[in-house]
Amino acid sequence: MRLKGKVALITGSTRGIGKAFAMGFAKEGAEIIVHGRNLEKAKAVAEEIKLLGVRSFAVAGDVSLSGDVLKMVEEAIQASRKIDILINNAGVNPFILEAENIKEEGWDQVMDINLKGVFLCCQAVGKRMIEQGGGKIINISSAVGFLGEQGFLPYAVSKAGVMMLTKVLAYEWSKYYISVNAIAPGLVAGGMNAPILSKDILVKGLSEQVPLKRLGRPEEIVNLALFLASDEATYINGTTIVADGGMTGYRPFGFLDMIAGMMKKKE
């Protein structure tokens, strides 16, 4: 029960790794503010969390819209009186395309949610944490933000931006006793990767590119976030911790080339 008495707001926590964060933090005693675009889905997860014996409340909104963010933070404060922990998990990667084929609206969609949305949530919650006298913010980046990858240009740029956002906020807000860190997962089984990993041949091919020869498990990322949110990580600030099985010490996958090669073998 490392987080007993703490309140955690987790964006994008109605499914995938976001829901795993919510359930994992609840098991450690934290009160959970579940967030999603759809309020009914957020309420359903909040009800699941209550079965674990902790309080939970649902909020909804688009993290790329400042009005929605301010509203959901205000609702969270009214329900729980404070926010001790913010996990910026909400993110999208709606397409895998060569750079020359990316449309402006596609670029904007990824940047608005993955980078602007993280900033808006940090700013809104950060102001509350300043008033409270401290807090912990954990931003979810990606190993792709270090490596780059074929077909992932806007996603990679947005996640690299999250790392720099984390550094600067940590520098500015340390005087308020707010720590800001990021986690950069590699390929994790589940969440937004589910469509990519629906075929065994892809799972095998991608796993072979990771030095540990397997994909990450959601609970491995959750455990890292729990550590950063706990009192065990009080001297860690402004850093991005990579959890990718050694991928960033290796090389990019060459994702599009690998898919093309697999298709040729299949033919």
pLDDT tens track for 91-107: 999 999 999 999 999 99
Number of domains into which the chain is organized? 1
Nearest Cα neighbor of 252 from 161, 120, 102, 148 is 148
* Annotated catalytic residue, options 155, 176, 235, 250: 155
For residue 246, how many other CB atoms are within 10 A of its CB? 13
Which residues on adjacent β-strands are paired with residue 241?
183
Looking at this protein, which amino acid is placed at residue 207? S
Whether residue 204 is contained in a domain is answered as no
**Domain span at 13:** 7-196+215-251
Say whether 155 is catalytic: yes
- pLDDT higher than 60, residue 267: no
CATH number of 238's domain: 3.40.50.720
Q: Cα separation of 28 and 264, whole Å? A: 48
Whether residue 256 is contained in a domain is answered as no
Whether residue 170 is contained in a domain is answered as yes
Whether residue 209 is contained in a domain is answered as no
pLDDT tens track for 230-255: 999 999 999 999 999 998 876 656 66
Whether residue 227 is contained in a domain is answered as yes
Q: What is the mean pLDDT of residues 46-60?
A: 98
Nearest Cα neighbor of 12 from 92, 77, 76 is 92
* pTM for the full predicted model: 0.92
Whether residue 31 is contained in a domain is answered as yes
Give me the pLDDT at residue 264, please: 66
pLDDT tens track for 178-232: 999 999 999 898 777 776 677 787 788 888 888 899 999 999 999 999 999 999 9
Whether residue 258 is contained in a domain is answered as no
Whether residue 257 is contained in a domain is answered as no
